[in-house]
Amino acid sequence: MVQINSNYLKLKAGYLFPEISRRVNAFSEANPQASLIRLGIGDVTEPLPQACCQAMKDAVDEMENSSGFHGYGPEQGYPWLREAIAKNDFQARGCQISADEIFVSDGSKCDSSNILDILGEDNQIAVTDPVYPVYVDSNVMSGRTGDADQAGQYEGLSYIPLNSENGFEAELPLEPVDLIYLCFPNNPTGAVASREHLAKWVNYANQNNALILFDAAYEAFIQDPLLPHSIFEIDGSRNCAIEFRSFSKKAGFTGTRCAYTVIPKSLQGSTSNGTEIDLWTLWNRRQSTKFNGVSYIVQRGAEAVYSLSGQKQTEKLVSFYMENASIIRKELSSAGYTVFGGEHAPYVWIEAPKGQSSWQFFDFLLQKANVVGTPGSGFGTAGEGYFRLSAFNSRENVEEAMQRIISF
């Protein structure tokens, strides 16, 4: 019989969202009249910016004629999109990133897990706790961890706690690590990283020959103009960091699919016998072999994010969600809840009141307020006692959900 990849049997996650669905379905069956408001999932709700839709419609029209038809494009993305990205997202902020260091893809979720393809098996890996589960699970699946313990932490991974005591700032690890996943603005805590915070990690990585995998999927939600949007705003980062970006949250592309990864040409890794190899060449080889590029139509849609009207429309989209986040913060704090995040990220991280566990508070909100959120413990041991509410919903639903929650 064919052998399976037994690493998959070590996986614990895949438990969170099915368990939420199970409890929500059981509640709905028992209370068919209840109208639930879902502030749980990390998916956007507002329509695509008009500029992106128009660009994609025009691209479809082009494809109708032999003169405008496009077959396979470059695996790395079309030069016009890579140039627009380099210019607007990096050079405009003073980062020395060139178009050929941008690799366009169909998602940051896949990029942040596929990156392991070009990295060795014996790296010591650090993740924050709580964490976006993709970083952990992709390491488990590829055999880079042992089994999970009772608390759900995997043998072989280093966990860096993010909690109210450390201000949700990732502290440097006590044991040496080679690979560090950082996500700021953070999913799930909604925390943002200051320049000093990122500089501390860049210095650590350069001193220890470590690599930072920086997930900036939420950079567009940063409100304070002084905060860094990219790890490449930090001196020295071109030698120690890879950045993941996505059009999913910023421009509503969760169902349209376009993202990109930045790999500086100066970034080096080492073979087991100490020879230095640049990671750009390996990723280029990996993408050319295993990936055939993002659809021409979708890349035209992504390019339109950088047009004048596209920029205005995406700013409006982001502001809309950030106003939701601000309503959630304001209503819950006035009602006596302790809330974090939600100022530079579309997530509000709430302390479950009266010492409740994450799941107890989940059940309370579901049954009393008919509001569905995400238990913090689902993102890691250090998330226990916390709860995530997402700002991705209509204004009406957010306001109604807050009125229901604060009435208890």
Ligand X SMILES: *Cc1c(COP(=O)(O)O)cnc(C)c1O
Per CB under 6 A, residues contacting ligand X are 42, 107-109, 132, 183, 187, 215, 217, 246, 248-249, 254, 259
Nearer to ligand X, 157 or 405 (CB): 157
Which is closer to ligand X, CB of 318 or CB of 369?
318
Residue whose C-beta lies closest to ligand X: 107
| C-beta of 260 vs 337, nearer to ligand X | 260
CA distance 309 to 71: 28
Shortest Å, Cβ 64 to ligand X: 29
Exposed, middle or buried: residue 217 (CB in 10 Å: 0-12, 13-18, 19+)? buried
Query: Of 249 and 344, which CB lies nearer to ligand X in the complex structure?
Result: 249
Hey, which bits of 302-390 come out as E strands? 339-341, 347-351, 371-372, 374-375, 386-390
Closest to ligand X by CB, 331 vs 343, is 343
Answer for the pair 162, 189: CB distance below 8 angstroms, yes or no. Answer: yes
Q: What is each CA distance from 76 to 110, 295, 327, 397, in whole angstroms?
A: 15, 12, 40, 40
Residue type, 285: R
Measured from the CB atom, the residue of 198 and 369 that comes closer to ligand X is 198
Determine the distance from the C-alpha atom of residue 237 to the mean position of all C-alpha atoms in its chain, rounded to a whole number: 20
Residues 183 and 132: beta-carbon distance below 8 Å: yes
Query: To the nearest whole angstrom, how small is the minimum distance from the Cβ of residue 333 to ligand X?
Result: 24
Closest to 104 in 3D by CA, of 236, 269, 301, 277: 301
Smallest separation (angstroms) from ligand X to the CB of 254: 5
Minimum distance from CB of 244 to ligand X (Å)? 6
Nearest distance from residue 215's CB to ligand X, in Å? 5
Contact 247, 49 (CB under 8 A): no
| Helix ranges, 31-92 (H) | 50-63, 79-85
Chain centroid to CA 265: how far?
24
Q: Which is nearer to ligand X, 254 or 284 (CB)?
A: 254
Q: Which is nearer to ligand X, 108 or 299 (CB)?
A: 108
276: helix, strand or coil: strand
Question: How far does the chain reach from its first CA to its final CA, in angstroms?
Answer: 57
3-state SS of 340-357 is: EECCCCCEEEEECHHHCC
